Structure formats: C-alpha cells, structure tokens
Amino acid sequence: QTRPFIPSFTPDGRSIIVPNFRANNVSIVDLELALAGNPGAEVARIPLTRPPDVDNVVRPARPKGSAVTADGRYAIISGGPRTTFAPSGTVWILDLHTRTIVATVTGIGNDPYGLAVVE
C-alpha cells in the first residue's frame, strides 16, 4: 500500500532508506533486524511535506528516489507529483542521525526519480 520506490543503503550497510510513494514518507529499515524477521525492523518513519506549488496548491510529496552521502550522515530524497507545469520536483535532505528533514529544495525538474550523490 505504501508503494516503496528506489531504496538506498547507508555506506555501513546497516540501514536501508526507503521512499514510500503513496504514504508520502521515508522509512529507515535496520537490515539486521529485517533479516532476523523482526517486525520492528522499520526503526523510523519520517513524513515528507511540500510547500505550495505555483498555483498555491499543496500537493502530496510522492517521494521516489533516494541516495546517501558517503559519510552516512544525510539521505537525499527526490519526489514531487507530475504536473502540467514545470518545475514541480522537490528534494528533501534528511539528517540520518537526528532523523529529521533539515532542508527542502523546490523547483527540481518535473516528477524526478533517481539521483546520485557526488562528493
């Protein structure tokens, strides 16, 4: 029901960052707990919100892509609904230590998916 899209692993291989398209959030999954079949493997769920678009409508986040910085500190999530106007895309920067959104960047293309972190 959440329709997970393009997940990413943290560099240490301990966590999976999963954008949930329909639920408009991001899950952090502990890989060791998941492999053990522990139902508590999802250790965090962070809601994503978008500011109003140019027509003043607040649309769902619709996250799709994810990437993690080489130091494992930040996850970058791409999303935004497909619209008839461009650019409608959004990028969220998630601090994986505090599990909070620390930045939101709007106007990133229209309906963005994949992304990569180059340091």
pLDDT digits (tens, 9 = 90+) for 48-101: 999 888 788 888 999 999 999 999 999 999 998 777 776 778 999 999 999 999
How far is Cα 36 from Cα 55, in angstroms, rounded to an integer? 47
How far is Cα 82 from Cα 34, in angstroms, rounded to an integer? 33
Q: Is the pLDDT of residue 7 over 90?
A: yes
pTM of the model: 0.91
Q: Is the pLDDT of residue 108 over 90?
A: no
- Mean local confidence (pLDDT), 1-7: 89
